[in-house]
Structure 1
Amino acid sequence: MVRAVVFMLLATAFIFFTLKKQHGQTQNRRPTRRLGYKININIPPAPVFDPLVTKMERLHQAHEKEGGGENDGDNDRDDYFTDEGKLNVTLRLIVLFPLLDTAPKDGFVCLKELETWNLQQAEERLIYRTIEELRLRDRDGDGMLSFSECLPRFSKEDIEKNETGHGEAGWWNQQFINADADKNGLLDFDEFNNFLHPEDSNNEEIQKWVLREKIRGMDSNGDGKLDFTEFVKHTYDTYRIYMEFETLGAQIPTAEEKFADLDTNNDEFLVVEELRPIIRYLQPGELSYAKYYSHYLIREADDVKDGKLSLEEMLNHEHSFYNTVFDDIMDDDYDDFHDEL
């Protein structure tokens, strides 16, 4: 079933649905990925392989805001899209191939080259969203955000109550404090970027906050840590699925082996600090998905199984690189991140 879903949707879509099925309601306790999301399940969009697709997404959003129609001045649409508005996939892959084949430039695209490319696209999208959200919320134009600018839906009374239940003002305020590295009560661009995209942050306090929320959804007895039974029930399968996908059949530690490896103080419990080494498996962000997407593309298109892709192989599997992504982008319901909470 796993293989069938991968072929049908994309590697990331497979992972999204697998994790959703495994964890059920525990996913609803995850921090919202962007402040404007009105959904409970916290999943990023599927990775976008082609920067032109991202560009067209932005143009579409701009036209929607302005209430306008087509952008007649954009030559990319004429150069790379058919009369029906469909992306000319073959042409785009021919254009992109030499941009991917860089280290070394040998006529093949290896995993490292593909991963570097996809990570660049993911990072650019994260930065763009942060710029847009900062622009929308920075009422005084100083390039920094106070808590009330970040989350204007909370009144002064809400903030003073400081209630720390999931999604309450105090809960968000703790994450604001985590992101405020210089502790000046305001978030600059980098701090706001961490606040907005916690799963992609290297901020230690934010990572701990993310993991505490994750543990809360998996901790059956409410003691704030995971015993082996809870680890097996809620955590190990997620870790195993990602590892199977990432390692291409290499031996994966058993649940007992991985638990023992993480349990550094040998007390038979896992706490936040001990789970940090596998945070990208338990709570992957868009950068992690970009890496998994690269593995997926290599697996799907590498016909001769030499660990790299020729242009011919990419063209033979062009659906794997552009699987309905442009149709999804042009869906009016695609992006909700400008909606207020």
Structure 2
Amino acid sequence: MGKASVIIYIAIALLIIFLISHSPKGPKNHRHRRLKIRSTFTFDKQQHEPVVFDPLIADMERRREDKEWEKRYLEHAHKEFIEEAPGAEAQPEWEDFMNAEDYLNDEERFNISNRLVLLFPKIDVDPTDGFVTERELTGWNLQQSERDVMHRTERDMELHDKNRDGFVSFAEYEPPSWVRHSDNASFGYDMGWWKEEHFNASDADGDGLLNRTEFNDFLHPADSNNPKLIRWLCREEVRERDTDKDGKINFKEFFHGLFDMVRNYDEEGHNSSHLADGSMEAPAERLFSKLDQDGDGLLSDEELLPIIGKLHPSERYYAKQQADYIISQADTDKDGRLTLAEMIDSPYVFYSAIFNDEDDYDYHDEFR
């Protein structure tokens, strides 16, 4: 971007801030809603959460999450430390001495409009043209998401890396308690999800140990580029859906389960509950036939490769989903992209809960 463009961009941003700050009513609804630091961490199993838009808030949430993780881990694995620690009950929570929410809701310290002005040029990068597109916003969301995912992976490595050599062996790894104490079908995947085959598939270099990247793939296989792990996911789908135990998936097994997952991925937000099974058999048969490369009327694990990304959506999928929602809410002129003014005019699309309570996004993230 040329020098003249930079000057024009800065001038426009300063003008917008000036107009907002001197408006008689101030930013629309800014004073009527409080920002709240979330707690997305659970010790046993975590659900997928919308990614935090602002890295500053994400850092606050990670610090709070780490504090909760430390406390829950000590309570779970080292009760003796909790029971013996003098004055343990009097220890303050993280938010008590950091005043995070007070910071966020103090306009002198955390001004949403100013934050959007600061973040806008970091998102508007491809190309730098004064507009944030769905692709740029998806890329930004994905960056924030990957940072959170890797942070949790590093924390989990500290838990499982018993000899502190920077690697996790299968002998060192302990499945979460919700796996150890649940029945086979409680969470949609039985105990095979945590067996040595899964570990070995994640071990890209075959040295018997998982480094940070491999351990992250182990925990989040949907985001892996490791072909061994993707094939393992396919084998798991066959094993889970193969009710007649012939080692492959017939049309009935495909239609009752897998096809709905693929269709819902392709037709986001579509409610299939009102459709009769018969009305969907034809498209299901077409997809089944397309996947059945050898024409034997059955799907092998290898034949599931083209749809495995729809059966196990990646972080990119959720990043795009979130970007689409944000643009649909903030794009007032409906041109499919956001200006800085539009973002400032709809700040709580970025700084509050992203999805409606009735929306269901619980499927993703089998391991968090």
Taking structure 2 as the reference length, what is the TM-score of the superposition? 0.63
**Is 2:96 the counterpart of 1:92?**
no
Q: Deviations over 1:218-261 (max 9, x none)?
A: 33433332223332321222222222239xxxxxx933332232
Cα deviation, residue 90, structure 1 = 4.0
Secondary structure of 1:245's aligned partner: coil
Following the alignment from structure 2 to structure 1, what is the Cα–Cα distance between the partners of residues 119 and 319? 17
Aligned equivalents of 2:342 and 2:286: distance in 1? Answer: 38
Confirm or deny that 1:296 pairs with 2:325. Answer: yes
1:167 aligns to 2:191 (yes or no):
yes
Question: Partners of 2:163 and 2:220 in 1: how far apart?
Answer: 23
- Give the alignment partner of residue 148 of structure 1, picking from 161, 171, 192: 171
Q: Give the one of 16, 26, 49 matched to 2:53.
A: 49
Partner of 1:230: 253
What is the CA RMSD across the aligned residues, in angstroms? 3.7
Cross-structure match for 1:38 = 44
* Secondary structure of 2:267's aligned partner: helix
Match of 1:285 among 305, 309, 314: 314
Alignment of structure 1 residues 265-276 onto 2, 5 Å: 265-276=294-305
Distance in 2, Cα, partners of 1:315 & 1:260: 49
Structure 2: distance between partners of 1:309 and 1:81: 24
| Change beyond 3 A, Cα 1:142–1:258 | same
Q: Distance in 1 between matches of 2:58 and 2:160?
A: 23
Q: Secondary structure at the match of 2:195?
A: helix
Which of 139, 145, 149 is equivalent to 2:162? 139
- Give, in angstroms, the shift of residue 279 of structure 1: 1.5
Matched residue of 1:287: which SS? helix
How many residue pairs align between the two structures?
274
In the TM superposition, what is the alpha-carbon distance from 1:132 to its structure 2 partner?
1.1
Q: Secondary structure at the match of 2:299?
A: coil
1:302/1:308 contact within 8 Å kept = yes
- CA distance in structure 2 between the aligned counterparts of 1:197 and 1:275, rounded to whole angstroms: 19
Q: Which amino acid aligns with 2:53?
A: F
Q: Which has the higher contact order (CA 8 A, sep 6+)?
A: 1
- Counterparts of 2:95 and 2:57, CA distance in 1: 15
> What amino acid is the match of 2:146?
E
Q: Structure 1 unaligned runs (5+)?
A: 1-33, 155-164, 247-252, 329-336
Q: Does the CA-based 8 Å contact 2:170-2:209 persist in structure 1?
A: yes
Pick closer, same or farther for the CA change 1:148–1:179 going to 2, 3 Å: same
Moved more, 295-304 or 62-71: 62-71
Report the Cα offset of residue 113 of structure 1: 0.8
Task: Call closer, same or farther: CA 1:73–1:238 in 2, change over 3 Å.
Answer: same
Establish whether residue 215 from structure 1 lines up as the match of residue 238 from structure 2.
yes
Whichever residue aligns with residue 312 of structure 1, its letter is: A
Find the counterpart in structure 2 of residue 245 from structure 1: 268
Alignment of 1:246-265 (within 5 A): 254-265=283-294
Are residues 1:58 and 2:25 paired? no
The alignment-based identity, stated in percent, is 41
- Which amino acid in 2 is paired with 1:245? E
Residue 63 of structure 1 and its aligned partner are, at CA, apart by 4.2
AA at the equivalent of 1:38: D
Residue 254 of structure 1: SS of its match in structure 2?
Answer: helix
Extract unaligned runs of 5+ from structure 2: 1-40, 72-90, 178-188, 270-281, 358-365
1:44/1:285 contact within 8 Å kept? no
Tell me, yes or no, if the aligned pair for 1:134 and 1:145 is still in contact at 8 Å: yes
